[in-house]
Amino acid sequence: MASRTDTKTRILDAAEKLFAERGFSETSLRLITSKAEVNLASVNYHFGSKKELIRAVLARYLDVFMPSASIEINRLHLAPEHASLNEIFSALIKPLLELNKVRNGGTIIFLQLLGRGYIESQGHLRWFITTHYAEHLATFVKAVSASAPHIPPAEMFWRLHFTLGTIVFTMASADALNEIAAADYGEHNNTEAIIRKVIPYMAAGVAVPVLTN
């Protein structure tokens, strides 16, 4: 059934790397197939279209991350509602870093793809994610809300999207920021170090009391 390594897999592996680095529209099928060492037409044969390839690339990560994240959230001291926001966000570190075992640089690739998906493709990838992984997202939102009960649901909606923006933009610029940090402050952070830096920032922002005046 499979010639050498599965053609489908070779395409996905090459595509996710290029998509994360350069964005979807800046990455041509010809570049993907040449890096993957497969024929140009095989993308349309196996995936139908470029748009569906993009979805498949994202789904391959989400199908690993989402269930794993839900398990960690539910496991929090056997009672997620008593966990702090820092603990809840930190519970996502393990599922995120496990993506590095799936593929080299998997964590940062996943987060960059997520950001590209939300910004580039005007809305239809956001729709794909929120509908296909609704239960997992609800689990997460419920846990966060329970641990910050002073934040009304509408305000929490906005703050969680602020949080998504924070992490996703950070990871999209991670390489550039790391270079500057190394040059200016002698710092050398890997993906995990950056995630551990950003969690307190996000947790503090989500929990800050709403201004009433």
Partner DNA sequence: AGTTAATTTAAACACCCGTTTAAATTAATC
Partner DNA sequence: GATTAATTTAAACGGGTGTTTAAATTAACT
Residues contributing to the site for DNA (CB under 7 A): 1-3, 7, 27-31, 38-46, 49-51
Q: Least distance from C-beta 44 to a second copy, angstroms?
A: 21
Window 6-25: contact mask with a second copy (x via CB under 8 A): ----------------xx-x
Q: Which is nearer to DNA, 30 or 197 (CB)?
A: 30
Dihedral over Cα of 52, 34, 31, 35: its sign: positive
49 is in the binding site of which of a second copy, DNA, none (Cβ under 5 to 8 A by kind)? DNA
Q: Which is nearer to DNA, 56 or 164 (CB)?
A: 56
Please list every residue from 48 through 107 that binds a second copy, using CB under 8 A. Answer: none
192 binds a second copy (CB under 8 A): no
Q: Least distance from C-beta 158 to a second copy, angstroms?
A: 5
Let me know: does 109 contact 191? Beta carbons within 8 Å: no
Stretch that binds a second copy, among 8-16, 42-50, 58-66, 196-204 (CB under 8 A): 196-204
Q: Least distance from C-beta 153 to a second copy, angstroms?
A: 7
Residue closest to 110 by CA, chosen among 101, 185, 152: 101
Stretch that binds a second copy, among 38-46, 66-74, 77-85, 204-212 (CB under 8 A): 204-212
Residue selected from 120, 137, 141, 145 as contacting a second copy according to rule CB under 8 A:
120
142 binds a second copy (CB under 8 A): no
